[in-house]
């Protein structure tokens, strides 16, 4: 629905622009007021919908084997990611955890019917949010010691192909029940999705997390 509402908004703005140009050329004051009033009412309705859906949303925590789909601003939702396993360790190779290493197995796959179309996560970002609004990012130096170090999490996937990679977080011992978030997309994608109704990345919207 979010994409449809955005398309309607864009189409409506284009139509409003044409009508306003006609009103300007014909010096029609009433048509100018009508167009501006219509645009204002639509934007007020859109903002109410945007904030209303975000307020009604709830955090969702996915377990092992429960996939998250990625749609963004686009119409396809074929690319998915899921946690396949979680292990903890105090040491990886010659690296010792400050807290505890969480080694998270990830699987990226597509459910597209056409095996010739490639999909991928765009600049995937995985992190663990902390209650004080800080975040724990991946420990890339520790990941480099794992067998899947060379695997690109943002690589292309076609048909039944999958990407399987282990990522690592150094989680403080004082953090109970850590939850991981995965996001993707360029900066412009994030900006557009922030105003997309009922999108996970829209303003104030709750998130989908992975339980670790």
SS3 assignment, position 49: helix
Summarised one tens digit per residue, pLDDT across range 54-93 is 999 998 999 999 999 887 555 567 889 999 999 999 999 9
Backbone φ, ψ for residue 60 (5° rounding): -125, 130
Exposed / middle / buried, residue 137 (Cβ in 10 Å: 0-12, 13-18, 19+): exposed
Structure-token match 């789909």, residue found: 69
Are the C-beta atoms of residues 82 and 180 closer than 8 Å to each other? no
With cut-offs at 50, 70 and 90, classify the pLDDT of residue 96: very high
**Residue 2, pLDDT score:** 66
What secondary structure does DSSP assign to 128-196, as a single string? EE-TTS-EEEP-HHHHTTSTTTT--TT--EETT-EEEEEEEEEE-TT--S-EEEEE---HHHHHHHTTS
**Residue 91, pLDDT score:** 96
Summarised one tens digit per residue, pLDDT across range 115-168 is 888 888 989 999 998 876 789 999 999 999 999 999 999 999 998 899 999 999
With cut-offs at 50, 70 and 90, classify the pLDDT of residue 188: confident
Count the neighbouring beta carbons within 10 Å of the beta carbon of residue 171: 22
DSSP state of 116: T
**Residue 131, pLDDT score:** 78
């Amino acid at each position: 629905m979010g994409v449809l509402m955005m398309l309607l908004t864009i189409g409506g703005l284009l139509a409003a622009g044409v009508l306003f140009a006609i009103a300007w050329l014909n010096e029609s004051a009433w048509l100018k007021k009508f167009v501006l009033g219509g645009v204002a009412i639509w934007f007020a309705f859109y903002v109410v919908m945007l904030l209303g859906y975000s307020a009604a949303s709830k955090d969702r925590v996915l377990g092992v084997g429960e996939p998250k789909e990625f749609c963004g601003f686009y119409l396809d939702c074929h690319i998915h990611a899921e946690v396949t396993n979680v292990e903890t360790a105090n040491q990886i190779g010659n690296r010792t955890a400050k807290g505890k290493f969480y080694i998270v197995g990830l699987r990226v796959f597509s459910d597209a019917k056409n095996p010739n179309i490639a999909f991928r996560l765009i600049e995937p970002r995985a992190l663990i949010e902390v209650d004080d609004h800080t975040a724990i990012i991946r420990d890339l130096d520790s990941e480099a010691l794992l067998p899947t170090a060379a695997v690109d999490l943002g690589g292309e996937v076609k048909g039944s192909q999958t990407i399987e990679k282990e990522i690592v977080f150094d989680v403080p011992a004082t953090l109970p029940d850590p939850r991981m978030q995965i996001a993707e997309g360029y900066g412009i994608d994030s900006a557009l999705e922030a105003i997309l109704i009922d999108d996970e990345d829209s303003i104030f919207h709750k998130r989908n997390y992975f339980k670790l």
